Amino acid sequence: MKDNFYIDVARESHLKYVDEILETIADAARVRGTGIAKRSPGYIIQKINEGKAIIALQGDIFAGFCYIETWGHDKFVANSGLIVVETFRGQGLAKAIKTKAFELSRKRYPESKLFGLTTGLAVMKINSELGYVPVTFSELTDDEMFWKGCQSCVNYDILTRTNRKHCLCTGMLYDPLRVKKKDEEEPKSLSVYKRWLRFKQSVFLNGNKKKDSNQKNEAKQESENGKSSYFKKLNFKFF
């Protein structure tokens, strides 16, 4: 279970795991065949020193990693390089790391749009649960340095041939303004729904009251009819 793991912002004391992090990224890229850009040791060290990386450990054993990048003058933030050591997969660790990276991104860059490119269905599911939605590449950052990072992907030629409009990756975006607007609109929609529900309940209750009243009247009438019939029989017997 993920509760057995330490998952937090990586610190200087975690620099000893840099080589293992890079090896795990390379292994994941080979297995997937696509989707993870290669990074240098210096780049990972920089992310850790800047407090822009999330690490997962089980005791002193490295288990997973993720880091955040900013693009377009901090208008866009990407949670990149999400990896989990094969031994620890299937325990909800990827989601826990991604969620921690998401929280760190929102804390440090509350006004920025969060985005990602992925070919993994599991990551897409995690992103969706965090509020990301699939978008066209045109809605992502136009920062050339970001797209240059895709050069190490085996499908880079597809990206270039389509003028960065399509690739095997799916673009996903979390827009805080869009989410805020949605949250503001939901109470209004809920208010309309509640009024409609109250109306339906009122109709239902009034209908039941009318039905109960009719049933009581019918029962009373039947009772009176029964008494009348009974007395008629008595009159017939005695007179």
Q: Is residue 100 part of a domain?
A: yes
Q: What percent of the chain has pLDDT over 90?
A: 56
pLDDT digits (tens, 9 = 90+) for 152-211: 788 889 999 999 998 989 999 999 999 988 888 877 655 666 676 776 677 666 666 666
Q: Under a CB-based contact definition with an 8 Å cutoff, are residues 112 and 140 in contact?
A: no
DSSP-derived letter for residue 192 is H
Number of separate domains in the chain: 1
In this prediction, residue 239 carries a pLDDT of: 40
Say how far apart CA 77 and CA 140 lie, in whole Å: 10
Q: Is residue 51 part of a domain?
A: yes
Characterize the bridge pairing of strands 61-71 and 76-84.
antiparallel
Q: 187 lies in a domain?
A: no
pLDDT of residue 12: 96
Structural domain includes residue 13: yes
Task: Give the domain extent around 168.
Answer: 2-174
218: enclosing H helix or E strand = helix 176-238
| Element at 85 (helix H, strand E) | none
**pLDDT: is 203 or 53 the higher one?**
53
**What residues pair up with 76 in beta bridges, in sequence order?**
71, 113
Q: Is the model's pTM score more than 0.75?
A: no
The most confident of the ranges 35-39, 141-145, 202-206 is 141-145
The answer to whether residue 183 is domain-embedded is: no
In a domain, 78, yes or no: yes
